[in-house]
Structure 1
Amino acid sequence: MITRRKGRLLAPAAAAAALALVAAGCAQSERDAGGDPNETRPLIFAGTGDPRSLDPVLANDGETFRVTRQVMETLLEHEPGGTEIQGGLAESWEQSEDGTEWTFHLREGVTFHDGESLDAEAVCANFDRWNGFTGDYQSSNQTYYWQNVFGGFAENEDEELPESIYDSCTAEDELTAVIRVTEPSAVFPGAFSLSSFAIMSPASIEEAAGQEVGGEEGAPVLPDYSQEAGVIAGTGPYTYSEWDHDGREVTLERYDDYWGEPANIKTLIIKTISEENARRQALEAGDVHGYDLVAPADVQPLEEAGFQVPVRDVFNVLYMAYNQEASEELEDPQVRQALAHAVDRQRIVDTILPEGGEVASQFIPETVDGWSPDVQTYDHDPDRARELLEEAGQEDMTIDFCYPTEVTRPYMPAPKDIFDIIQSDLKDVGLTIEADSKPWDEYIPHTDSGNCSLYLLGWTGDFNEAYNFLGTWFGGYDSAWGFRDDEVFSVMEEVASEPDPDKRTELYQEANEVIMDYLPGLPISHSPPSIVFSPDVEPPPVSPLTQEQFDQASFK
């Protein structure tokens, strides 16, 4: 095995020795100068795509949350490196017997970055703000997670939106906030850990109130707070310092009055490097200290060169979505089944995914309660695919197929390569494919708006509940999928309102079976993504939810 450093190929041992010398030299020079590397050196981490906004309620992607999670905190969070829910800004919490009232007991002594104190009224101001969104903010492109969890808004402006299940938030006393919903839901309490629902200061809410969404349908331009220092104040271990759009990097600075343990490293820079080879070369050259979503073929060479490459547990799914409103041919179940039989998912797992990847039989990984061994399966069978297309009268069908560029995701390490395999498989059974590619920041609103008949996307679980996967897509009508099916929606409605976890697990199994009979899309694979750090960094605990907290990292 060989690796590359500044354009030269080095054997692994030589590369490791070179890295050790570089790290030792930097540490020695800092000691000689009397400096602490955690105070004098920024930690530079390479992301795969630009954040959409500094306001997390307007985001639905991991690249944005990687930034906002360091600055803004939620009522609940997950244990470091795991999926168990624990207290965040709320030290403890409880629910009513019917699951419609959630009481949060806030931590004492927590302050926002602008100096305001966290209290129950500040928590309620955030939830009331989100429920009160109007105009373009009611588009699922802007407030995806709010709509996914709470439905609609206080005053819906689109008849397609369901009624909001958010009822109220009351400050019972200074540190006790009570959130009431109109019906129980399987998304709680997990939803209170979602990065979208991070709490900002009341002054920040006032500053953000006048901001408008620009752009056009399918390509929104979100409010840009990057030039207005202090507009968004959270409670996290880091504060926003600068968003350099041209340099594609966000700089964060340690918040010294943080309520918990202060961040080990003073300055954190999250820099976008879209191309995976460029990320690896930047790491090898010492330009960055880590990056996410290591290409499977790079894991062993990087380890042999002395880098640290932790592998996360599997907690995601890649799928090919069918949008029946974008292509009426997809309304025919025989066509949907034909496409499923046409795709060689095992080839994708064997040639593109890292070791430990597996073909998906349904829309949740087997590690999540509610996975069913009895779902309808669709084995790779090109002959059967051709038969089904002929029976449907679509043997010469032409269809558009979208895939993202300038990004890799935990479930999708090489989008173009995956697309190429699927496109080849579909062409092999007689289809004509019209390819449509877009950069990641344009791709999400493009697909969410129903502009693609077929497209690649996936999901990394936000919390350990099957509804976080299934309800995200199939809890009701969604323009990204473009279908209405009473059986699918009713089984999801039943599971969503069941407060007993054991009964929910049985209902999830039934839901998976109903969904795979209907086949709104094709689950392709589950993947264990890797993350990498340089030898001189003590990494933070890696998260199966890809929710690393960089305040826990340090220079060795």
Structure 2
Amino acid sequence: MLHLRVTRMRRTVLIGLAGALAVSLSACAESQRDSGGGQDGGTLVFGATGAPSNFDPFYASDGETFRVTRQLYENLVGIKPGTAELEPELATEWESTPDGKTWTFTLKEGVKFHDGTDFNADAVCKNFERMYNQTGAGATAALSYYWIENFGGFADGKNPSLYKSCTAENPTTVKLELTRFTAGFPTMLSQDSFAMQSPAAMDKYKANDVKAQGDSFVFSEYARSHPTGTGPFKFVSYDEANGTIELQRNDDYHGEKAKLSKLIFRVIEDETARKQALEAGDIDGYDFPAPADWDALKSSGNNLMIRDPFNILYLGITQKNNPALKDLRVRQALAYAIDRQSLVTSVMPEKAEVAKQFYPSTVDGYADDVQEYPYDPDKAKQLLRQAGHENLTVELWWPSQVTRPYMPNPQAIFGAIKEDLEQAGIKVKPISKPWAGGYLDQVEVADAQLFLLGWTGDYNSPDNFIGTFFGTTENQFWTSGSPWGDELAKAIDEADATVDDAEREAKYQEINRKLMSEYLPAIPLSHSPPAIVVSPEVQGLVPSPLTKEEFAPVSMSSSE
């Protein structure tokens, strides 16, 4: 990941982005691409949007790194393919004490890391102790983002930590102790950063030897060349010059073996170039095709798979730099002024949905009775008059040089919203900056008045959505200047710490009601289903609503 200054909200929009390397498509030689068919399942070449930051998932927070490491590593718990549901992975079962602070995991037997060392309870504890005992550059949010977001502090005691201890009770039983209950545990362990890695390989290749160098980092030999997990693929090489990562099937895998003999990721920065590479047969698939290309891709015989939406696009509202935006009536007027149904129908891709609150209805705590804001420009004008701001002028920020799963065409989305606001008598001052060239930086320091931003869920938890947005008093750029930011953050933290399921559900529902009626710190716009496209020769790929596809079940069938 090249965006190295990560904060809680920066991470919202960084997933899936990394600095990209230039690629020569001609380097895709036929010798790298088995003809397919047969017992091997052939070789699949997948077009990646950017280069991985490194191959140690603990030190990563971007989707292109995780797309690779997910094939190499496994977690204690996993996500059922095609869903956001928790399922066993390296742990076959687990249970907790009534207070939710002590968790006992039973581990799968006969599992080995790629270097031949045993996966067992000792290995689990060594992984957690390694994560907990980070120091120096490794203990920064730029590298240990997911640990800090989910577990908090480290062993140095500077900040409270959710993690307390790990005990190997026997080779197949491990006990994890937490300092408090959280509704996100153990599901949070399904995140890629918490994958189990070989303690022997991490020691041998000095995994923790990471150093800051200017605005970037120098990673260890382990993270660059020797990633060692228990997964269905093994690492072969990374050719940075050609932007090519090669993996091979792990023939000693403990479960069903991968069908592919090789899996290659080829970095192709430009979206049009990825489309052309697929059409030319140089790659076998790529992620996040532009919605405008969907019909053409399908008509060419490709398999375009539309994921279920598990994200949110919203119009953020910063109250600090425009006093009018501190008035709830003005924020409500903005909500009434936007024709979200028309936005979804005319601008967003097929199967997009209008968002009524800050996460999808499939997430716990969704409230069916929140205040809604149907399109009503007359109501918007009325509220502005009541607030004394009938001549309101706002800055509307939108990012260039980017496409996100929840925001496939920022300029078109901006244009639709601008037109709606102007229909309600609101003067709009457009401001556009490159996504990684000022937009994110200025949004997070509360320079933007109205801005487009969003989030793709990491796992199925309300705290993963509204907790990320509002559950901390740090970096609350949209509540900057508001009298209720701390109150909202406290309510979210209390809901997450509630042990009783029904009571916790009720608390989250009440938070969602207040978010839409009393606070309205932003305006939920849409849930947009991102697509993934593969050639007709690719068989067995299951699209994930979390964009966490696994390639082990995939094979290549000859089209000849």
Query: TM class, shorter-chain normalised?
Result: 0.7 to 0.9
> Structure 2: where are the runs of 5+ without partners?
1-29
TM-score using structure 1 length: 0.82
1:248 and 2:249 aligned: no
- Contact map agreement 1:226 1:243 (CA 8 A) in 2: no
1:91 matches 2:87: no
Secondary structure of the structure 2 residue equivalent to 1:179: strand
Question: Residue in 2 aligned with 1:477?
Answer: 473
Inter-CA distance 279–392: structure 2 relative to 1 (3 Å threshold): farther
Instruction: Confirm or deny: 8 A CA contact 2:360 2:366 kept in the other structure.
Output: yes
Worse-matched range after superposition: 535-544 or 473-482? 473-482
Name the counterpart of 1:211. 210
Aligned to 2:522: 521
TM-score, with length taken from structure 2: 0.82
Contact 2:394–2:450 under 8 Å retained in 1: no
Establish whether residue 183 from structure 1 lines up as the match of residue 180 from structure 2. yes
1:306-317 equivalences under 5 Å are 306-317=301-312
Q: Specify the alignment match of 1:489 in structure 2.
A: 489
Give deviations 1:231-276, integer Å, cap 9, x for gaps: 3212211223333344334222222222212211122122333443
> Which AA in structure 2 matches 1:43?
L
C-alpha distance in structure 2 between counterparts of 1:243 and 1:75, whole Å: 27
Task: State the number of aligned residues.
Answer: 517
1:23 counterpart residue number: none
Letter in structure 2 aligned against 1:495: A
- Alignment root-mean-square deviation, CA: 3.3
**Residues of 2 paired with 1:316 and 1:90: CA distance?**
28
Residue 280 of structure 1 and its aligned partner are, at CA, apart by: 2.4
> Whole-Å Cα distance in 2 between the matches of residues 132 and 338 of structure 1?
49
What one-letter code is carried by the residue in structure 1 that aligns with 2:252? D
The CA deviation at 1:431 is 3.3
Give the conservation status (yes or no) of the 8 Å contact 2:329–2:384. yes
State the partner residue of 1:56. 57
Q: Residue 489 of structure 1 aligns to a residue in which SS?
A: helix
Contact 1:405 1:416 in 2 (8 A): no
- Cα pair distance change 1:85/1:404, threshold 3 Å: farther
Change (3 A) 1:432 1:392: farther
Output the CA distance in 2 between the equivalents of 1:227 and 1:154: 23
Q: Answer whether contact 2:225 2:237 (CA < 8 A) is retained.
A: no
1:65–1:336: structure 2 CA closer, same or farther, 3 Å change rule? farther
SS at match of 2:305: coil
The 1:213/1:444 distance shift into structure 2, 3 A limit, reads: farther
Q: Which residue of 1 aligns with 2:286?
A: 291
8 Å Cα contact 1:312/1:530 also seen in 2: yes
Contact 1:38–1:555 under 8 Å retained in 2: no
Cα distance change, pair 448–551 in 1 and its aligned pair in 2 (3 A): farther
1:410 is paired with a residue of what secondary structure?
Answer: coil
**Relative to 1, partners in 2 of residues 1:186 and 1:388: Cα closer, same or farther, differing over 3 Å?**
same
The one-character-per-residue Cα deviations of 1:409-452 (angstroms, maximum 9, x if unpaired) are 33222234324434555577213233221349x97787667675
| Contact 1:75/1:87 (8 A) holds in 2 | yes
Tell me if the contact between 2:127 and 2:197 (Cα under 8 Å) persists in the aligned partners. Answer: yes
Which residue number corresponds to residue 20 of structure 2? Answer: none
Describe the shift of the 1:287–1:545 C-alpha distance in structure 2 as closer, same or farther (beyond 3 A). same
Seen in structure 2, the aligned counterparts of structure 1 residues 396 and 466 have a Cα distance that, compared at 3 Å, is closer
Per-residue deviation, 1:510: 1.0
- Which AA in structure 2 matches 1:163? P
Give the Cα–Cα distance (whole angstroms) in 2 for the partners of residues 258 and 65 of structure 1.
Answer: 20
Q: How far apart in 1 are the matches of 2:267 and 2:248? A: 18
Aligned to 1:356: 351
Higher mean C-alpha displacement, 457-466 vs 85-94: 457-466
- Residue 432 of structure 1: which of 395, 412, 429 is its match? 429
Amino acid in structure 2 at the alignment position of 1:355: E
Partners in 1 of 2:249 and 2:181 — Cα distance? 39
Compared CA separation, residues 323 and 212, structure 1 to 2 (3 A): farther
Q: Would the alpha carbon gap of residues 512 and 40 (structure 1) be closer, same or farther in structure 2, given more than 3 Å must change?
A: closer
Does the 8 Å CA contact 2:42/2:555 hold for their aligned counterparts?
A: no
Q: What's the offset of the Cα at 1:165? A: 1.7
| Pairwise CA distance, 1:342 | 4.4
Secondary structure of the 1:552 match is coil
After superposing the two structures, state which structure 1 stretch, 445-454 or 476-485, moved more.
Answer: 445-454
Q: Which moved more, 1:37-46 or 1:443-452?
A: 443-452
